[in-house]
Structure 1
Amino acid sequence: MNRTIQLIRGKTAPRAHAELPDGSYEEEWGRLGFSGTVSHLYHKHPPTGWTDIDGPLKPHSLSPLAMNRLDGERVVFLENSDVAIGVQLVIADWNYYFRNGEADELLFVHQGSGNLETHVGTLHYERGDYLHLPRGTTYRFCPEELTELLTIEAFTAPFDIPERGIVGQHVPFDPSLIEYPTPDQTSVWNGDKSGKFQVKIKRLGAITTFTYPHNPCDVIGYKGDLAPWRINVRDFAPLLSHRQHLPPPAHITLISGGFVVCTFLPRPLESEPGALKVPFYHSNVDYDEVLFYHDGDFFSRSGIDAGMVTFHPAGFPHGPHPKAIQRTDKKTFTDEVAVMIDTRRPLELTQAGKAVENSDYWKSWME
C-alpha cells in the first residue's frame, strides 16, 4: 500500500536513520519485514537496555561448525515447514550421487573449493559461492580441499530472483555472471570399486538408494530453463546510500516460499553527518531472522566470529551492541560478509542446534 500521510508527534528526527534528537535512540517499528507500514520511535534509552529476560522470547547464538559431523553429513540446526538451515562438511570425493527429491537447495561455500559434478555437467566451486541446485538435481562433490557449506533447503517453492523494480535487473548482481554447467563426459565419475553407481534420493526425510550398472549422469545435452548454477558474492554490487542506512530488503538475493535470502557485503559506511552507521534498533515482528557470519569484522555484534550464527525470533527487540556503536565513530568502511535468512513462519532449534548454543548470548547487550 502506498502511504503518503506521515504522523509526527513529539520530538523526532527530520528523516529516518539520521539526525536523531540529542541523546535519543531510534527504533523502527514496522510490519512485513521492513516493507510494510512503519513508524520510527525515539527512545531515551536503548530498546536493548534490559537487565533480565524471563521467558522463551530470547535471541540465540550458535556455533554450528563445532558440531561433530561425518564426511558428507548434513546437520540441520533450524527448521520450519518451509525451510531447513544447516551445515555440511565435505572432505573427500563422494562415492555416490545425491538427489534431493523433497527440496530445492541453496548451498553457500564458507570454506573450500572443488568440483560439483551434476547430471548436466560440472561446476567448479570456491569460497564465497552460492550453489543453486533445483529439486531433482543429481550431484556429487569432489573437493580439492576441505569444504564447509551453509545449506538452505526450500520445501514449498523454488528459489527465484526477485523483481528489482526501479533499480533494474543488474543489482545486486548481473544475471549474466551466473554460471551454468555444460555436459562434459570427460569429467564424469567411473563408479565405485565394483564399477557400480549409486544414487541416494532423499524423499520425506528418508534415503532410498538406486544402484546402476552404468553412470546415470550420462546427459549429452539439455535445453530449457531449469538447471543448477553458481555465482560468487565478490561479483555482487550491493545497493547503498551515503546518506542513510538501507534496510535488509535492499540486500535480498533470492526469494522462496515463506522466506528470503539476503547477502550483506563489504561497502562504504554512511558518510552523511548525523547518519546512523550501524543497523537501527528493530523487532521485525513478522519474520524470524537468521544470520550466518562468513567473513570480515562484524562490527555491529560483539563476540561473533566467522562461521557463527545468530537467530533473532520475530518480536525480539534488537540492534547493535553498545560496544559496536562506539567502534563506528571513526569507521568509514565495513568488510563483513554475511548470509541472512528471514522466515515468515517461526523457526525451531533442532537438538543439534541446541547443543552448540551460547545460552548467555542475550546478556551481550548488557556488556
Structure 2
Amino acid sequence: MKLVNETSLFPLRKGRITRQAHVDLPEGTYEEEFARQGFFGRTTHLYRAHPPTGWTDIEGPLRPRSYDLNRLAPPAAGDRPAAFAPTCFLRNEDVALHWVRPGAMDFLYRNADGDDVHYVHRGGGRLECTFGVLDYAQGDYLVIPRGTTYRFLPGPGPQEHLLIESASEVTLPDRNQLGAHALFDPAVIDTPEPEAPAEPDRPWTVHVKRRGEITRVTYPFNPNDVVGWKGDLTVWRINVKDIRPVVSPRYHLPPSAHSTFLGRNFVICSFLPRPFEEEAGAMRVPFYHANIDYDEVLFYSDGHFFSREGIGPGMVTWHPQGIHHGPHPKAIPASRLKDRTDEVAVMVDTLRPLEATEAARGVENEAYWASWK
C-alpha cells in the first residue's frame, strides 16, 4: 500500500467553495472528497447541491451492503473442529475476513497461508502459542505471524472474534511527523512469556492450513515446547484502550489518520471514542466520498454509531469501489447534540475488490442501501 502524499501545492479553485476542506461549507451545499489512494493522493473537493447518496434505487453489484454477523450459524461439520472453525464472509487475493467463535481447543492450529489478526469482540482467555502464553480480553488485537502454532483457551461466556487473515506480513504504519509514540506507545505492546506446555506428554495434533486445506500432523508430545526465544518476530497484543486517536478540534481528520496496521494492498484502522470537533463550522461526521481506489469495510463492535442508523454491535457494512457513501441524513444534526463519540469500530480498506461469500449473503440486511433516504 502506497502512503505517499502526491497532492499539488496549489490546487485549482472554481465556483462556490470553502477555503478549508470540511469547514464552513457554502450554505446549501454538500461536500464530497474525490480522492485517490485512500485520501493520500490527489484530491478535489466537490460542493454539490444534493447529497451524492440521494439515490432512489441501486441495482447491481456495487450496492452498499450490511451484514449481521450475530446471525451467522455455526459452520457445518467438516474438516475443521467446531472449537476453531472460522466462517469467511468477505475476501480477495490479499485479505479474508472471518467470524469465529473459538472454544476450548484440544488441538493446535497453524496458518501457513498468512498472518492472522484476531480482534476480540467478546470474551477473553488465554492464547498458547509457539512463543509461550498470552492472556487476552475484549478489545484486544492479537497479531499472529504466519507459521505460528497456537490454540485458544477461552474463559466463560460468549466468545466472538473478527479474524482478519492477511496473505502478507502485517506491520505498523509509519507515523511520520507525529512521532514514534503517536496513537500508542510501543511500550504498551505485550508479547508471550515462555511457559511449560499443557499436557506435554500426551499426543497432540497440529491442524496446518495451506491453500484452504487442512493437514494434520500428530506428535507424541506438545510441540509448543519452546523454553526461550529472542528476536523481533513474535505474537503480540494491543488493546484498543491503549490506542489514543489523533484528533483536531478544528478539522475532521480522514480515516487514514486512524490507521493501526498495514498489509499488502489493505489497511486496518481503529475508530475509537474521541471528542468531536469544537469549531462551529467544522464537520463532525465522516464526509461524503466516492471510494475511488478502495473497498471499505466497517465492523461495529461497541458504542453508538452516530453516522449510521440501524447498526449495532457485531454488524458489518461494505461499501465497494465506485459508489458513494457518507453520513446518514440524521447524523449531521445529531452530531451537534453530543460532545464526543463513544463508538469502537474496526475498518478494513482493500485496494482490490472484495467478494461476499455465501455465508455473508445469508445474513445480509437487504434494505441497507435505502438507509440514506
Q: TM-score, normalization: structure 1? A: 0.96
| Corresponding residue for residue 221 of structure 2 | 214
Q: Does 1:37 align with 2:42?
A: yes
Q: Per-residue displacement from partner, 1:301-327 (whole Å, max 9, x unpaired)?
A: 000001100000012101000011221
Quick one: distance in 1 between partners of 2:331 and 2:200? 53
Quick one: distance in 1 between partners of 2:198 and 2:292? 49
| Corresponding residue for residue 14 of structure 1 | 19
Letter in 2 for 1:251: H
Q: CA deviation at 1:54?
A: 2.5
Q: Percent identity between the aligned chains? A: 51
Q: Does 1:88 align with 2:100?
A: yes
Quick one: distance in 2 between partners of 1:256 and 1:90? 24
Q: CA deviation at 1:2?
A: 4.7
| Corresponding residue for residue 116 of structure 1 | 127
| Corresponding residue for residue 158 of structure 1 | 169
Q: Does 1:190 align with 2:202?
A: no
Letter in 2 for 1:35: F
| Corresponding residue for residue 357 of structure 1 | 364
Q: CA deviation at 1:73?
A: 1.4
Quick one: distance in 1 between partners of 2:263 and 2:61? 28
- 5+ residue gaps, structure 2: 1-5, 75-81
Q: Per-residue displacement from partner, 1:248-297 (whole Å, max 9, x unpaired)?
A: 11000010111000000000001101110000000121000000001110
Structure 1 segments of 4+ aligned residues over 4 angstroms from their partners: none
Quick one: distance in 1 between partners of 2:316 and 2:282? 28
Q: CA deviation at 1:26?
A: 0.6
Q: CA deviation at 1:196?
A: 1.3
Q: Per-residue displacement from partner, 1:344-364 (whole Å, max 9, x unpaired)?
A: 000000111111111211000
Quick one: distance in 1 between partners of 2:274 and 2:253? 12
Quick one: distance in 2 between partners of 1:31 and 1:170? 28
Q: Per-residue displacement from partner, 1:91-147 (whole Å, max 9, x unpaired)?
A: 3x2010000011101000000010000121101000000000000111110011231
Quick one: distance in 1 between partners of 2:39 and 2:209? 36
Q: Does 1:343 align with 2:350?
A: yes
Q: Is the 8 A contact 2:7 2:41 kept in 1?
A: no
Q: How many residues align?
A: 360
Quick one: distance in 1 between partners of 2:322 and 2:40? 16
Q: CA deviation at 1:191?
A: 6.3
| Corresponding residue for residue 79 of structure 2 | none
Q: RMSD across aligned C-alpha pairs, in angstroms?
A: 1.1
Q: CA deviation at 1:90?
A: 1.6
Picking from 186, 205, 212, the partner of 1:175 is 186
Q: TM-score, normalization: structure 2? A: 0.95
Letter in 1 for 2:56: T
Quick one: distance in 1 between partners of 2:274 and 2:119? 20
Moved more, 144-153 or 339-348: 144-153
Q: Is the 8 A contact 1:24 1:44 kept in 2?
A: yes
Q: Is the 8 A contact 1:95 1:191 kept in 2?
A: no
SS in 1 for 2:83: coil
Q: Is the 8 A contact 1:65 1:87 kept in 2?
A: no
Q: Per-residue displacement from partner, 1:173-231 (whole Å, max 9, x unpaired)?
A: 1111110112111xx22169xx2111110011110111111111110111111100111
